[in-house]
Chains A and B, each alone.
Chain A
Amino acid sequence: MLLITCPWCGPRNETEYHYGGQAHVPYPESPADLTDEQWAEFVFYRDNPKGPFAERWMHSIGCRRWFNVLRDTATHEVLTSYRLDEPRPGGNR
């Protein structure tokens, strides 16, 4: 089981959280101008790296707030967690 640190509540078991997929996927700035390919990219395509991955989690049975986690998908190591208004630690988006 993953031990994830909520930025507001501290470290809690994975079962307190809900997974939200890749972080830092902005809604298109001008949706009306998007091609079908660009819509497909936004709706269906996400990164799937073997290694560090910035992802969203929600503390669903705690403070119910969303935040981001940087986690290694190969080792399951939770590298860090940070608020939605903070950039990904170490850059790379």
Chain B
Amino acid sequence: MTAEALPEHPDFLWRNPDPKRSYDVVIVGAGGHGLATAYYLAKNHGITNVAVLEKGWLAGGNMARNTTIIRSNYLWDESAAIYEHALKLWEGLPEELDYDFLFSQRGVLNLAHTLQDVREGVRRVNANRLNGVDAEWLEPDEVAKVCPILNVSSRTRYPVLGATFQPRAGIAKHDHVAWALARRADELGVDLIQGCEVTGFLKDGDRVVGVDTNRGRIHAGRVGLAAAGHSSVLAERAGVRLPVQSHPLQALVSELHEPVHPTVVMSNHVHVYVSQAHKGELVMGAGVDSYNGYGQRGSFHVIEQQMAAAVELFPIFARAHVLRTWGGIVDVTPDASPIIGSTPVAGLYVNCGWGTGGFKATPAAGWTFAHTVATGEPHPLNAPFALDRFTTGALIDEHGAAAVAH
């Protein structure tokens, strides 16, 4: 890894307009997914009379709190298709958006510590290859070549028995991704409206025709929800019940260090995932807290366990200091796959349930959700992720490849 200069801190990248009385489309939530949806509504579908409403500040929710990992090594065909579409979009986005958000394809290792992990990993590598996703199975000595600071000794409590490796995976600078999308969406005519909380929905019969907000009533031809952890709270105001549960998910960073960690390492079994940001922080995450919560903070024992795992895997981290910890609220579905599609309320669409892994999907979530909102029909990539799969039973069970316990 080379130390790259950080992009210049930008000046004003988007206008700050007051909401108009009516729009063709209102998107609720100006995180990565909401911004990407607005961008592709304008770019792919020519729909520019769009407002993105954000109760806080732009990209200040989970977009500001995630561990920025991008990969597409999911097990099932439906997931591989949508996450690989995202990864291909990521590969072109810095140029397309004319913004270097430091997308770095440094690869991801998903470690195996048990025989069952090994079997699951090898199976997933084979499934990935059949789906055109780059994937390799590495033995412990090969793992050590990719990431020399990783302890692959057989004398640890949970020895590294191998790993899946996706070389095209990586990280990106999350804030800059949001700003890049916001700037382009704004240039295309989209109104990005911060400090605007949706408090209710306007309906005409069974159809949604607008939203009530703390900044007045806004009429809309169609409304798309992209509110992550608060999706069910929001949908309930429209009379829609969603099969999601909101949990705190914590992450932390260390103080700055010289570049030591060349890739991304994830471990499902001992449960920690680590990469090193461009600036030098070690960025670490673990699993969700077991209980439901909206407090944007979690329990300390989760951090203790993830740190214990990190120090066993990376002995050189033992004297690194934690600089800061934080929590985000993730909306988890029963099959650990997202919901992207229509709702029982006409004109109301939902993009939610990304759980712990929404960041990597940002471009594809925006691409498919924009298609759905623009046409009223699912894109082939998000058709399997419809709300009705919980009734038909056609679940897409990605608890294994989701890589974060939830």
Take A2-B299, A15-B301 as given contacts and tell me if A45 and B241 are in contact as well, using a CB distance cutoff of 8 Å. yes
- Chain A's nearest CB lies how many Å from the CB of B31? 18
- Chain B's nearest CB lies how many Å from the CB of A43? 8
Measured between beta carbons, the chain A residues less than 8 angstroms from B241 are 45
Chain A residues 1 to 53 lying within 8 A of chain B, measured CB to CB, are 1-2, 14-15, 18-19, 21, 36-37, 39-40, 43-46, 48-50, 53
The contact string, 1 if C-beta is below 8 Å from chain B, for chain A 65-79, is: 000000101111000
- Is the CB–CB distance between A73 and B293 below 8 Å? yes
* Cα distance A74–B246 in the bound complex, in angstroms: 11
- Is the CB–CB distance between B295 and A40 below 8 Å? no
Measured between beta carbons, the chain B residues less than 8 angstroms from A74 are 293-295
Measured between beta carbons, the chain B residues less than 8 angstroms from A21 are 245
- Chain B's nearest CB lies how many Å from the CB of A11? 16
Take A45-B243, A48-B233 as given contacts and tell me if A19 and B391 are in contact as well, using a CB distance cutoff of 8 Å. no
Measured between beta carbons, the chain B residues less than 8 angstroms from A73 are 246, 291-295
- Is the CB–CB distance between A40 and B390 below 8 Å? yes
Question: Is the C-beta of B334 less than 8 angstroms from some C-beta in chain A?
Answer: yes
- Is the CB–CB distance between A1 and B295 below 8 Å? no
Interface of A is mostly: mixed
Measured between beta carbons, the chain A residues less than 8 angstroms from B217 are none
Measured between beta carbons, the chain B residues less than 8 angstroms from A53 are 292
The contact string, 1 if C-beta is below 8 Å from chain A, for chain B 235-251, is: 00000011111100000
- Chain A's nearest CB lies how many Å from the CB of B158? 20
Question: Is the C-beta of B232 less than 8 angstroms from some C-beta in chain A?
Answer: yes
- Is the CB–CB distance between A2 and B295 below 8 Å? no
Question: Is the C-beta of B392 less than 8 angstroms from some C-beta in chain A?
Answer: yes
- Is the CB–CB distance between A14 and B390 below 8 Å? no
- Is the CB–CB distance between B299 and A48 below 8 Å? no
Interface of B is mostly: loop
Question: Is the C-beta of B300 less than 8 angstroms from some C-beta in chain A?
Answer: yes
- Is the CB–CB distance between A46 and B230 below 8 Å? no
- Is the CB–CB distance between B292 and A14 below 8 Å? no
* Cα distance A45–B391 in the bound complex, in angstroms: 10
The contact string, 1 if C-beta is below 8 Å from chain A, for chain B 268-294, is: 000000000000000000000011111
* Cα distance A40–B243 in the bound complex, in angstroms: 9
- Chain A's nearest CB lies how many Å from the CB of B398? 15
- Is the CB–CB distance between A55 and B244 below 8 Å? no
A76 — nearest CB in chain B belongs to which residue? B295
The contact string, 1 if C-beta is below 8 Å from chain A, for chain B 296-308, is: 0101110000000
- Is the CB–CB distance between B293 and A76 below 8 Å? yes
- Chain B's nearest CB lies how many Å from the CB of A76? 5
Take A37-B391, A44-B334, A50-B230 as given contacts and tell me if A2 and B243 are in contact as well, using a CB distance cutoff of 8 Å. no
Take A15-B301, A36-B392 as given contacts and tell me if A2 and B233 are in contact as well, using a CB distance cutoff of 8 Å. no
- Is the CB–CB distance between A48 and B292 below 8 Å? yes
Take A44-B243, A46-B245 as given contacts and tell me if A36 and B391 are in contact as well, using a CB distance cutoff of 8 Å. yes
- Chain B's nearest CB lies how many Å from the CB of A19? 4
- Is the CB–CB distance between B390 and A44 below 8 Å? yes
* Cα distance A43–B293 in the bound complex, in angstroms: 21
Chain B residues 372 to 406 lying within 8 A of chain A, measured CB to CB, are 390-392
B299 — nearest CB in chain A belongs to which residue? A1
- Chain B's nearest CB lies how many Å from the CB of A50? 5
- Is the CB–CB distance between A1 and B300 below 8 Å? yes
- Is the CB–CB distance between A19 and B295 below 8 Å? no
Q: Which of B's residues lie within 8 Å of A, judged by CB? A: 230, 232-233, 241-246, 290-295, 297, 299-301, 334, 390-392
Provide a sorted-by-A list of 13 A–B residue pairs whose CB atoms are within 8 angstroms: A1-B299, A2-B291, A19-B290, A36-B391, A40-B243, A40-B391, A43-B334, A48-B232, A48-B244, A50-B230, A50-B294, A74-B295, A76-B297
Top-8 shortest CB links A-B: A19-B290, A40-B391, A48-B232, A44-B243, A44-B390, A50-B294, A1-B299, A44-B334
